[in-house]
Amino acid sequence: MTVESTAALCARHADASAVATCARCGSFLCGECLELLGESAFCAPCVSLRRSEGPASRAAWGALWLGVMGLVVLPCTLAMPLPPLVAGVGGVVLGMREAGRIRRGESPAKGRVPARVAYVLGWLTLGVLSAWLLFWGWLYFAASGDRG
């Protein structure tokens, strides 16, 4: 007399017991096929579909926000140059990081444009800030040289 197993089997590996189901398509997954995105389990085809067609990530939008804010706070550089510096560097670093994640397939492709725009705006902020500070530094030293 044989005992039949009632455990679910993996959709790709018929000899492996399932440990989870795909959150998108519902197929059974073994430990080898299981891929976690956040707290949900997905199969490989659903992961690639989600990464190619999913919305832009929060990191891409955050990088874009930093790039825009760098330009917005740029007029206050005379009083305090730290906010545009932080926002510009943040836009560049997060934009580059997110673009790399998209290139490696770890993040949705729709975040490519916000990440690139954040990168460009971050460098623009840093360039304008540098030119502004160099100009005022030059004016300061030129004016102090005339007095002494």
Q: Could you read off the pLDDT tens digit of each residue along the chain, which spans 148 residues? A: 454 567 788 888 888 888 888 888 888 898 898 888 778 888 888 887 777 777 888 999 999 999 999 999 888 776 788 889 999 999 999 999 999 988 887 788 889 999 999 999 999 999 999 998 888 888 888 888 755 5
Same domain, 65 and 135: yes
- pLDDT score at 14: 83
Range of the domain at 4: 1-53
Phi-psi domain of 105 (left: phi exceeds 0; alpha: psi -120 through 50; beta: other): left
| Contacts of residue 89, Cβ cutoff 8 Å, sequence gap at least 6 | 122, 126
What's the confidence (pLDDT) of residue 86?
Answer: 92
Helices 58-72 and 112-147: angle between axes, nearest 10 degrees: 30
How many whole angstroms separate alpha carbon 43 and alpha carbon 46? 5
Q: ∠ at Cα 46 (27, 37), nearest 5°?
A: 100
48 and 10 co-located in one domain = yes
Query: How many independent structural domains does the chain possess?
Result: 2
Are both 48 and 60 inside the same structural domain? no
Cα–Cα distance for residue pair 15/147, rounded to 1 Å: 88
